[in-house]
Chain A
């Protein structure tokens, strides 16, 4: 792992309306240009962790945060989300609320316009993201006429116009159908492959996570309880299941075989399963 892009130390966080800490002593380091997938049952604190890293909690969502968060050298506790302009971009679950204008171009231009960048620079950034994500066909469409997956794609593109170095994805496919989810996940893979962004994604699609993630962190009850490469995490099938995460199908099958006395390696990716099972 290269130098850290995101460092979280002993992080405690809670909302103004919550009675106890939602995050309880989270420690995390994410290398520059790498991808971490956060997994865990709903309510375990994945979104809260992302909001804290993005400086939204407590700066937008009232609450309390204790501990240290440094993103690309910026002390988030001190700067809040305003200090992370051009550093962090975040995409949320609900595609409907992330498209708030009446044209795709306006949507893409909104963030750099709000930053007060010169007109030419805003246009340059929009043109760049349109080319990078092949969005030409959407430019003349009313965002309201787009599918959920397409809206989510536009939301990701809108964030990229701020040229963030860190991209946070808060379950971006949880409200999408299969087709929409594929569109979004392929875009995320492309961003990782071609643009070298540091990505932290809360995502429940485990088969996808093991294919693209450099690291996986499993959260339970406000803490990171497992962390490592996809192989390291998902080869411990029993532990993963105990924390409410479904292991990849290949690992589940291999683990069942081992329980029945077969000596097989536990694969986490589909292609490894083909090797292990001699398919």
Chain B
């Protein structure tokens, strides 16, 4: 028993180390790419090489992610969730939403969209400013507020596109992509408190590494497929946008989300808004 706990803890520590290492490697590698080729760092950036160099593989993976992600989005909003036992009620489908769920989703969207719109992106490396601290909230909204929080993140991103003047066909990918950023840690991290090794370790697996890859491939697959409607060349889609999404989501969520999560979880629980508590209360 103790042996199992020790190995589980070691795995969690490994996940945190891996998440932070990938985040650090991304920052370092882009800095290196910029030093080697200041005119076109994307040609040197390892992530660009991977996403664009293996575009066919990424496209195939993206197709699977897209189909699964979209199906999950529809199912969860319809009140069903996939479990080991098959499809089960998630008790958070839109039809079951109370006014609290509507308020939670609307306010999550307004805060996420408002922070995205009102805070300037910060400098990643000089000349490149795509790190958006507000992105750290998406996985937390999912973990703390459940499906209303996931939809809040999706709508918030859409609203940021609208008010920023970026709304277009590509926004559809960003809409469900942001839903998935919130959804993965909501669904797969078992302890949302950020106060145990397993909570933080699982967050680094699902809320940092997995969500960054899933959101990048989901959004970029859509941009690739809709190329004739969106107008972005494949190099820009896989060589620039995919690495940007991936590195932003890795770095921001590895650095900021656990700090915010640790501070916010007790507040949210104390106000009776943690989704597991709300479902339990509703059942009682």
Contacts and interface: CB of A to CB of B under 8 A. Distances in A.
In-complex A–B contact (CB below 8 Å): yes
Nearest to B281: A62
B75 to A, nearest CB: 26
Interface residues of B, number: 10
Contacts of B271: 17
A202 to B, nearest CB: 21
A60 B270 contact: no
Nearest to A59: B98
Contacts of A62: 272, 278, 281-282
A243 interface: no
B100 interface: yes
Interface string A1-42: 000000000000001110000000000000000000000000
B277 interface: yes
Interface string B77-118: 000000000000000000000111000000000000000000
Residue of A15, A17, A60, A62 ringed by the most chain B CB atoms within 10 A? A62
A102 B42 CA distance: 44
Interface string B192-205: 00000000000000
Contacts of B100: 60
B98 A16 contact: no
B270 A17 contact: yes
Nearest to A18: B272
Nearest to B278: A62
A155 to B, nearest CB: 16
Interface residues of A, number: 5
A16 B272 CA distance: 7
Interface in A52-71: 60, 62
A59 to B, nearest CB: 9
A16 B269 CA distance: 11
B277 A60 contact: no
Given A16-B277, A16-B281, A60 B272 contact: no
A206 B99 CA distance: 34
Nearest to A100: B106
A60 B278 CA distance: 11
Contacts of A15: 272
B145 to A, nearest CB: 15
Contacts of B281: 16, 62
Nearest to A58: B281
A27 B99 CA distance: 29
B180 to A, nearest CB: 29
A15 B100 CA distance: 15
Contacts of A17: 270-272
A60 B282 CA distance: 10
CB-based closest 6 A-B pairs = A17-B272, A62-B281, A16-B281, A16-B272, A60-B99, A62-B272
Interface of A: 15-17, 60, 62
Given A15-B272, A17-B270, A17-B272, 10 more contacts: A16-B272, A16-B277, A16-B281, A60-B98, A60-B99, A60-B100, A62-B272, A62-B278, A62-B281, A62-B282
10 contacts: A16-B272, A16-B277, A16-B281, A17-B270, A17-B271, A17-B272, A60-B98, A60-B100, A62-B272, A62-B282
